[in-house]
């Protein structure tokens, strides 16, 4: 219906070209919209609800949940605006005035935890802005003046220690800026003049050691970079207009290894390890990396090959195992991963296959178990899982099917080894509780989701009711205390997670509850000194780590506590070793035998290396000359049978591996040669029956499938 002027009146319906409803609502006698109007997409989903009496405007998800909500006044947002996560939880509350941001605002996690507080004035940030970690501890406290940073800048690590200290003036960094590691040691320091880096910037590792300096001129142009190893200069780069002109490398003793200069716009050179071996072959053209760049291990084998164009990775990239078989093949375009991705196991079998588009995982990704069976079949859209993801057991049978939407789990089904669906989901709003029971009705697994992400406590129980694992999640990431309990006794390992990463001290235990390993993680990487113990309580070895790699002097002891060997590591590689009978360090280049002896001349430890990795048989001995262990390696990975002995020569434990995966039957024996326990593994997973014995008689057994206890 229309009035005399041709304006719409009364109830109207508008349609998409495909015939689905597009909008519906009422017009008054003057042709103005009145009451509530509803708007739909061409799939029939309501996407907007607008009340022309109250001004309430709601944008909806395709599930009908609120996406945005605010009041319109004269066609402009006015008052509080609420923005929601797709699951319906509030994401942000902010204020508008006549269509522009004005006033206080807060941003929340899906759990309702405040992670940011800010203030706007006339559409510009103004006043104090604070951000917080998910546990509520402060992360950042800064001040804005009409949209520009102004005043003291303080950022904090989650442990409360300062991360960044500096000052801003109307949006520009001024004066000294300092960055700190989470342990309190200085990470970087330098001076800014009107937001321009000037003078010398110093960079330190987590131990507080100087590793790099950068020198800038008054205009902020980089003129020199110096890298240090063990406190001594290792390399120096000289720049003109941002392009390297000369590069010099020296070894640990100050001897020049290479001196390269630009000639006619090109600089072709080699980078070296501080110990003198070639690290990289490279080429610069007009100050930018170009062509093929090869990276070598200290043992002289190629680790990876990259292609560069105009200073960016561009083209094919390959990484290799120590035997030179291909580990990964991928492609880049102008610095972003773009094209097919393929990784392989060390025996050449495919591991992961997929596709990148300008840095984002796209389309189908398939991964495989080491036995060649499919492990996972997933589909990505812009780096987020979407649609159904299929996960398979070692036998290739379905283990889990999860439906994802925009990266979040929307539904999940878990199967047992017979292929029967055994998981149950209980939904309440944006929360989902998942449970699996044993056939007897006892608890097997319990875990929870919030807004499609694992959240809260997650537990797995043995059939007898004991805990197998206990972990905690926060918005899809592991957090807090994580514990795993041994098959027949107490705690197997215990440690902390933060934001999905292993963090802090972790401890592993022998079957009798005594410590086996104590180590520290930082950001999911091994850090500081790790201590390994024998089952008699004595220290077996101490190994220092930095950024996940062995760094510094490791010490190795015999079963009775005698120091038998020291190794010097640099960036994960053994560069020398020392025997207790001598104060001299013996240089080691990654190939050969390291032989340690007891004071009476009897062998204590024998290790074989190839291309910098343990290779072949390694042997350790008791002081009485009897064998302590006989291990087999393949380029650093356990391979085949590993045998441990009692001091009288009787077998203590037998283990089997396939390329570092536990694989086969493991057995433990007491001093009389009687079985203590038996475990079966398949490609790293407990599989089959685990048995416990007392005085050689079986007293208990637990069955496993794909690493999980089953009835």
Predicted local distance difference test score (pLDDT) of residue 75: 87
Q: What digits encode the pLDDT tens for the residues 569-582?
A: 999 999 999 999 88
Instruction: Measure CA 554 to chain center.
Output: 26
- How many Å separate Cα 618 from the centre of its chain? 32
pLDDT in the model for residue 1: 66
Q: What's residue 63's pLDDT?
A: 79
pTM of the model: 0.92
d(CA 636, CA 613): 5
Confidence at residue 49, expressed as pLDDT on a 0 to 100 scale: 94
Return the exposure string of 461-472: e unless at least 16 CB atoms fall within 10 Å of the residue's CB, then b: bbbeeeebbbbb
Share of the chain above pLDDT 70, in %: 100
Q: In angstroms, rounded to a whole number, what is the distance separating the alpha carbons of residues 397 and 391?
A: 9
Q: Of the given ranges (59-68, 523-532, 651-660), which has the lowest mean pLDDT? A: 59-68
For 485, counting Cβ atoms within 10 Å of its Cβ (0-12 exposed, 13-18 middle, 19+ buried), the class is: buried
How many Cβ atoms from other residues are within 10 Å of residue 572's Cβ?
A: 15
How far is it, in rounded angstroms, from Cα 208 to Cα 215?
20
DSSP letters for 438-483: -TTS-EEEEEEEETTEE-EEEEEE-TTS-EEEEEEEETTEE-EEEE
Is residue 477 pLDDT above 80, yes or no? Answer: yes
- Contact at 8 Å (CB) between 609 and 574? yes
Listed residue (293, 340, 326, 339) closest to 312, CA to CA = 293
pLDDT tens column, 408-444: 999 999 999 999 999 999 999 899 999 999 999 999 9
**Beta carbons of 71 and 79 less than 8 angstroms apart:** yes
| Residue closest to 558 by CA, chosen among 655, 625, 507 | 625
d(CA 616, CA 632): 5
């Amino acid at each position: 219906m229309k009035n005399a002027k041709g304006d719409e009146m009364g109830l109207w319906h508008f349609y998409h070209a495909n015939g689905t409803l597009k909008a519906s609502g009422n017009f008054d006698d003057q042709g103005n919209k009145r009451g509530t109007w509803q708007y739909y997409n061409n799939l029939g989903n309501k996407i907007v609800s607008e009340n022309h009496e109250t001004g309430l405007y709601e944008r909806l998800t395709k599930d009908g949940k609120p996406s945005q909500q605010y009041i319109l006044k004269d066609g402009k947002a006015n008052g509080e605006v609420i923005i929601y996560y797709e699951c319906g939880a509030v994401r942000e509350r902010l204020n508008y005035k006549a269509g522009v941001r004005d006033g206080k605002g807060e941003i929340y996690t899906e759990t309702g935890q405040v992670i940011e507080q800010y203030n706007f004035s006339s559409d510009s940030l103004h006043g104090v802005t604070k951000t917080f970690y998910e546990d509520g501890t402060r992360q950042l406290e800064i001040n804005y003046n009409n949209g520009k940073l102004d005043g003291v800048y303080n950022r904090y690590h989650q442990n409360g220690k300062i991360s960044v200290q500096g000052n801003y003036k109307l949006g520009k960094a001024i004066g000294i800026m300092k960055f700190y590691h989470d342990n309190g040691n200085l990470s970087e320091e330098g001076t800014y003049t009107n937001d321009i880096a000037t003078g010398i910037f110093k960079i330190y590792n987590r131990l507080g050691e100087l590793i790099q300096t950068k020198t800038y001129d008054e205009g902020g142009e980089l003129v020199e970079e110096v890298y240090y190893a063990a406190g001594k200069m290792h390399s120096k780069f000289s720049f003109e207009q941002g392009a390297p002109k000369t590069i010099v490398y020296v070894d640990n003793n100050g001897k020049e290894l290479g001196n390269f200069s630009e000639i006619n716009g090109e600089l072709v050179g080699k980078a070296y390890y501080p110990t003198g071996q070639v690290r990289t072959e490279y080429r610069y053209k007009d100050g930018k990396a170009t062509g093929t760049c090869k990276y070598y291990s200290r043992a002289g084998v190629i680790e990876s090959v990259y292609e560069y164009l105009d200073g960016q990775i561009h083209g094919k990239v390959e990484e290799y195992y120590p035997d030179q078989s291909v580990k990964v093949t991928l492609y880049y375009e102008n610095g972003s991963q773009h094209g097919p991705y393929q990784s392989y196991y060390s025996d050449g079998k495919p591991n992961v296959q997929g596709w990148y588009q300008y840095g984002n995982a796209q389309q189908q990704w398939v991964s495989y178990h080491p036995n060649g069976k499919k492990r996972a079949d997933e589909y990505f859209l812009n780096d987020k899982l979407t649609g159904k993801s299929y996960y398979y057991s070692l036998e290739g049978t379905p283990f889990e099917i999860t439906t994802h939407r925009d990266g979040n789990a929307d539904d999940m089904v878990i199967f047992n080894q017979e292929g029967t669906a055994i998981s149950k989901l209980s939904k309440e709003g944006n929360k989902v509780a998942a449970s699996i029971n044993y056939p007897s009705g006892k608890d097997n697994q319990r875990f929870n989701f919030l807004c499609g992400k694992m959240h809260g406590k997650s537990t797995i129980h043995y059939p007898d009711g004991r805990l197998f694992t206990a972990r905690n999640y926060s918005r899809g990431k592991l957090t807090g205390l994580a514990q795993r309990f041994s098959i027949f006794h107490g705690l197997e390992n215990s440690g902390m997670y933060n934001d999905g990463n292993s963090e802090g001290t972790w401890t592993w235990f022998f079957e009798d509850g005594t410590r086996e390993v104590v180590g520290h993680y930082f950001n999911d990487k091994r850090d500081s000194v790790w201590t390994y113990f024998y089952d008699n309580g004595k220290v077996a070895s101490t190994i220092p780590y930095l950024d996940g790699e062995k760094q510094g002097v490791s010490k190795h002891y015999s079963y009775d506590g005698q120091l038998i060997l020291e190794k010097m590591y640099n960036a994960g590689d053994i560069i020398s070793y020392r025997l207790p009978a001598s104060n001299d360090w013996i240089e080691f280049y990654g190939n050969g035998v390291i032989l340690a002896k007891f004071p009476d001349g009897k062998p204590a430890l024998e290790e074989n290396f190839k291309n910098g990795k343990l290779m072949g048989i390694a042997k350790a001995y008791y002081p009485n000359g009897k064998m302590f262990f006989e291990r087999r390696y393949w380029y650093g990975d356990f391979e085949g049978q590993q045998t441990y002995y009692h001091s009288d020569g009787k077998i203590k434990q037998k283990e089997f591996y396939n390329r570092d995966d536990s694989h086969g039957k493991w057995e433990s024996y007491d001093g009389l040669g009687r079985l203590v326990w038996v475990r079966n593994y398949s490609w790293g997973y407990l599989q089959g029956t685990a048995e416990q014995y007392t005085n050689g008689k079986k007293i208990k057994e637990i069955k496993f499938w794909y690493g999980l206890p089953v009835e």
